[in-house]
Structure 1
Amino acid sequence: MSNKVWLEVAMNGAWTRALQPNIPVTAEEIIREGIDCSNAGAAILHAHSLDPNTGKQNADVDICQAFIEGIREQVDAIVYPSSVAMPMGDDAQVRNRTTNELCRRGVLEWGILDPGSCNFAMKGVNLFGNDGDVYSNPPGVLRASAEMAAEYGWRPSYACYEPGFVREGAKLYKAVEGMQTPVYRFMLSDGFTFCFPPREWAIEALAKLMAEEAPGAPWMVAGLDINTIPLIPKIVELGGHVRVGLEDAPFQSSKTNVQWVEEAVKAIRAAGGEPATAAEIRDSLS
């Protein structure tokens, strides 16, 4: 039987078309692209809600609901938004307002909960015109957010920007009763200085950390300003999963999200895996 590999596509991010010209911006564009990516083999679809006029992230609950429902009316996929606008602040209720409202409306399966803080800076020329920023997720906010995830029933997707995020995320899961098993996403990068560069040794190290801190929990490899495709053989070998898409891809990517998905599907199959369906992913988490 083939090794089932989850394939996620992160369709836009908060970059705007200045950095990624091919991203979908409006809910209608996200819906069309999400359906196409699902048909190409991605069972997990991730998108940011963006202001249709400026292209900037806005965490609008109605936009999130529109693209989640619009995609799921046509295909069976796990669709989840990045639903926290900047600046975030230290109020967990404010941070999770969009996520929790989507749960109250009955449309959310997964949500964002990033278990740690780190510097957000670039290795070379900074595209954002400053020295970088701090991505801040204080312990009290994390605990409150994890409790909300348990209360409202959404599955946390952990973006692990440093190895310590894995350890903190595992601690949170053990501490908060009723929280669904999180999905750990290793965030690698050539362009940013967080975590490790996208190398096979980095995946091996993080997989060993997972085996110690969160044995049996699902993990995937993603990142920012990264080409994940060359890493897929090692990811499949170690039992991990894959994320691609224009949120993660090298800036100014000429490829579309569908093309990234198609390349990933070929690489997964060449490595002896088979892209999982959304139903298979849900079954494996039940």
Structure 2
Amino acid sequence: MSLAKVIISCAVTGAVHTPTMSPALPVTPDQIAHQAIEAAEAGAAILHLHARDPATGKPTPDPEVFMQFLPRIKQSTDAVVNITTGGGMGMSIEERLAAPLRSSPELCSLNMGSMNFGMFPLVDRYKQFKHDWEAPFLESSRDGIFKNTFRDIETILQRLGQDHGTRFEFECYDTAHLYTLAHFLDRKLVTPPLFVQSVFGILGGVGADTENLLHAKRIADKLFGKDYHWSVMAAGKHQMRFVTMGALNGSNVRVGLEDSLFAGRGKLAQSNAEQVRLIRSILQPLSMEIATPDEAREILALKGGANVKF
């Protein structure tokens, strides 16, 4: 693994937080496009995107909704568009693949295993919710599994990777997921350079502890050597300090309202761009250069913005 410049990814809206939790969370296609473009202008080279029902804010896999903001983002910025294949709790593999197959992006996220993904503790933080779906959606994670079997992963790698030339942000919520990725590398179903996103602080995944961050890097170095580029993201209050620690240990970084709603202790972020500016303000004084979208494309060996279908 080598790191010439730091790639900043911004996860704009996600499928965890709900509209009640922050007025800044983008919900409509217009809001998602606006905040994504602002984040790119602030310095994000990669925009990680989910879609939401414009009326309720509930996560949706509907490709028609994605196509209401993807062309606008492409027309307004040269940032790399990274579309989720994780979707949201309860979505089938076909639903999760609908938008990526329609749009054929340069990059997609790909979770490297089935896991518990506990969002239910968020229910107790709010006395009431704006929409009827929010509390049951969060509570469903108490007895739900985020399903990503070996067959699911094989399907995504073939239908998107082989058939569309899409590359992947491999989301690894534990060191076991690194070994799963190594399995697919051994089978030559994935090819270097790998973009490995270590995820910390999700209930059901590895905790946001310094020991875990350093251990994840040691295992990734052991398994992938110089054939990968590392990135770090962390949930909630852990976000900024943990991605900074990752960068100090050679990682790229991911911020955004999908991962945390805050921009400082007790201070709700006003936008995704605010978080991008904040991490830049931390990294640049530490003599870290920020990668442009085209530099990110070169580093990650992406197919280029001219080869997408939006």
TM-score (norm 2): 0.81
- Report 1 or 2 for greater relative contact order, CA contacts < 8 Å, sequence distance ≥ 6: 2
Please state how far the C-alpha of 1:132 moved relative to its aligned partner: 4.7
Alignment of 1:1-286 (within 5 A): 3-14=4-15, 15-83=17-85, 84-89=87-92, 92-103=93-104, 108-121=105-118, 128-129=138-139, 131-148=142-159, 149-177=161-189, 179=191, 181-189=193-201, 192-197=203-208, 199-216=209-226, 217-250=228-261, 254-255=268-269, 256-286=271-301
State the one-letter code of the partner of 1:6.
I
Please state how far the C-alpha of 1:248 moved relative to its aligned partner: 0.4
Task: For residues 178-220 of structure 1, give each alpha carbon's deviation from its aligned partner in whole angstroms, at most 9, with x where no partner exists.
Answer: 656442111111x6242122x3322211111110122231121
Asked if the contact 1:113/1:157 (under 8 Å) is kept, the reply is yes
Distance 1:236 1:71, change over 3 A: same
Please state how far the C-alpha of 1:80 moved relative to its aligned partner: 2.0
Cα distance in 1 between the residues matched to 2:122 and 2:50 = 25
Please state how far the C-alpha of 1:45 moved relative to its aligned partner: 0.9
Cα distance in 2 between the residues matched to 1:74 and 1:46 = 16
State the one-letter code of the partner of 1:87.
G
Distance 1:57 1:139, change over 3 A: same
Cα distance in 2 between the residues matched to 1:201 and 1:85 = 29
Cα distance in 1 between the residues matched to 2:82 and 2:244 = 26
Please state how far the C-alpha of 1:100 moved relative to its aligned partner: 1.4
State the one-letter code of the partner of 1:254.
L
Asked if the contact 2:6/2:252 (under 8 Å) is kept, the reply is yes
Distance 1:254 1:125, change over 3 A: closer
Cα distance in 1 between the residues matched to 2:267 and 2:204 = 20
Q: Which runs of 5+ in 2 are unaligned?
A: 125-137, 302-310
Please state how far the C-alpha of 1:85 moved relative to its aligned partner: 4.8
State the one-letter code of the partner of 1:194.
G
Cα distance in 2 between the residues matched to 1:58 and 1:122 = 17
Distance 1:76 1:176, change over 3 A: same
Cα distance in 2 between the residues matched to 1:167 and 1:126 = 33
Distance 1:126 1:52, change over 3 A: closer
**Percent identical residues:** 24
Cα distance in 2 between the residues matched to 1:31 and 1:21 = 16
Cα distance in 2 between the residues matched to 1:65 and 1:118 = 29
Task: Say which SS state the counterpart of residue 227 (structure 1) adopts.
Answer: helix
Distance 1:215 1:118, change over 3 A: same
Task: Say which SS state the counterpart of residue 66 (structure 1) adopts.
Answer: coil
Please state how far the C-alpha of 1:93 moved relative to its aligned partner: 4.6
Cα distance in 2 between the residues matched to 1:194 and 1:279 = 32
Asked if the contact 1:232/1:268 (under 8 Å) is kept, the reply is no
Asked if the contact 1:60/1:98 (under 8 Å) is kept, the reply is yes
Task: Say which SS state the counterpart of residue 111 (structure 2) adopts.
Answer: coil
Asked if the contact 1:64/1:81 (under 8 Å) is kept, the reply is no
Partner residue of 2:128?
none
TM-score (norm 1): 0.87
RMSD after superposition? 2.4
Cα distance in 2 between the residues matched to 1:94 and 1:181 = 28
Distance 1:214 1:132, change over 3 A: farther
Cα distance in 2 between the residues matched to 1:172 and 1:179 = 9
Task: Say which SS state the counterpart of residue 185 (structure 1) adopts.
Answer: strand
Structure whose residues are more often helix by fraction = 2
Q: Which runs of 5+ in 1 are unaligned?
A: none
Asked if the contact 2:231/2:253 (under 8 Å) is kept, the reply is yes
